Amino acid sequence: MTLNNQDKIDSPLDQLEAIESLAPPPPDPEMMLTLLSSSNKKERMLAARAFCDLSEERAIPYLLDLIQDVCPLVRVSAAYALGRNPHPDAVPILIDTLAQDWNGYVRKGIVWALGNCGDRTSVAPLIHALKNDISAVRLWSASSLANIAKVHYDEIIISLPPLIEALRGDLVPAVRSNSAWAIGQLARELPSNVVYATAIDALIEALVEDPDFGVKEDAKAALLKVGDAHALQMIEDLELEGLI
């Protein structure tokens, strides 16, 4: 049988609205600002989460209060919202909370926020977290160190040794992978000196010796982005020999 009526073969799905038109509208900043000081913890959490997507300077004083809220879910949301809305006033409060908060998810959000704030005073507490905290916090501490230190030579010099230590010795592959990425980011900002050579050697060592394939790949990607001639030649040789 020949089908010659186009209406009969059109799918009912063709009549649906575009996906974009079905998406919920963005939260109303004015309403969310009001809810930040609500007595209802669910409303405070909802409002703090909204400012993980919204940029609004008026929210910062409220978020600085919420980072010390009794509810850890509110504190987590406030931490990420402060990372989305970085401000110099947030840095000392975030650092103090990082040292005191018992909740690992809150501390994870805080180290991410500190990385976005980009303040040099965060380097020392982030190094401490990289060395001593739980794996999720160590992972993001490595990334945040790279975000902060790469614009300050002195902080690069301070940050590279603990990052190299984490790359060589952390028991969690994801932490080693993020450390490899961070070392690569910092090495790109260095002149060709002893510190630079140490960073490249650490990445080569991870590429050759790390037992985790993902860490090897991240070390390789970091070396390729740095573009060090010796490292690129070594990668080519290892690939020809089938060793990586």
Domain regions of the chain by residue span: 25-90, 149-244
* Distance between CA atoms of residues 206 and 209, nearest Å: 5
* Distance between CA atoms of residues 80 and 86, nearest Å: 10
What per-residue confidence (pLDDT) applies to 6?
45
Can you tell me the mean pLDDT for 104-127? 97
Find the range with the poorest average confidence among 10-24, 46-60, 99-113, 206-220.
Answer: 10-24
* Distance between CA atoms of residues 79 and 125, nearest Å: 16
What per-residue confidence (pLDDT) applies to 20?
52
At residue 14, does pLDDT exceed 50? Answer: no
Nearest to 204 by CA among 233, 243, 167, 231: 231
What per-residue confidence (pLDDT) applies to 96?
98
What per-residue confidence (pLDDT) applies to 22?
56
CATH superfamily membership of 25-90: Leucine-rich Repeat Variant (1.25.10.10)
CB count within 10 Å of CB 174 equals 17
Looking at this protein, which amino acid is placed at residue 226?
V
Phi-psi region of 118 (alpha: psi -120 to 50; beta: other; left: phi over 0): left
Give CA 128 to chain center in angstroms. Answer: 17
Could you read off the pLDDT of 53-102 as tens digits, one per residue? 999 999 999 999 999 999 999 999 999 999 999 999 999 999 999 999 99
Q: What's the CA dihedral at 206, 207, 208, 211 to 10 degrees?
A: 70
At residue 21, does pLDDT exceed 80? Answer: no
Could you read off the pLDDT of 168-193 as tens digits, one per residue? 999 999 999 999 999 999 999 999 99
CB count within 10 Å of CB 93 equals 16
Tokens of 97: 């909370």
* Distance between CA atoms of residues 141 and 107, nearest Å: 10
Looking at this protein, which amino acid is placed at residue 45?
M
Rounded to two decimals, the pTM is 0.86
At residue 101, the 3 state secondary structure works out as coil
Looking at this protein, which amino acid is placed at residue 3?
L
Q: In CATH terms, are 25-90 and 149-244 the same topology?
A: yes
Could you read off the pLDDT of 217-234 as tens digits, one per residue? 999 999 999 999 999 999
Half-sphere exposure of 211 (CA within 13 A, CB side): 5
Q: Grade residue 240 by pLDDT with cuts at 50, 70 and 90.
A: confident
Tokens of 95: 């650092």
Q: 149-244: what CATH class?
A: mainly alpha
Q: What does the buried/exposed string (b/e) look like for 137-162 if buried means 16 or more CB atoms within 10 Å of the residue's CB? A: bbbbbbbbbbbbbbeeeebbebbbeb
- 225 near 209, Cβ under 8 Å? no
Report the share of the chain in percent with pLDDT over 70: 90
Concatenated DSSP letters of 52-90: TT---GGGHHHHHHHTT-SSHHHHHHHHHHHHHS--TTH
- 221 near 184, Cβ under 8 Å? yes
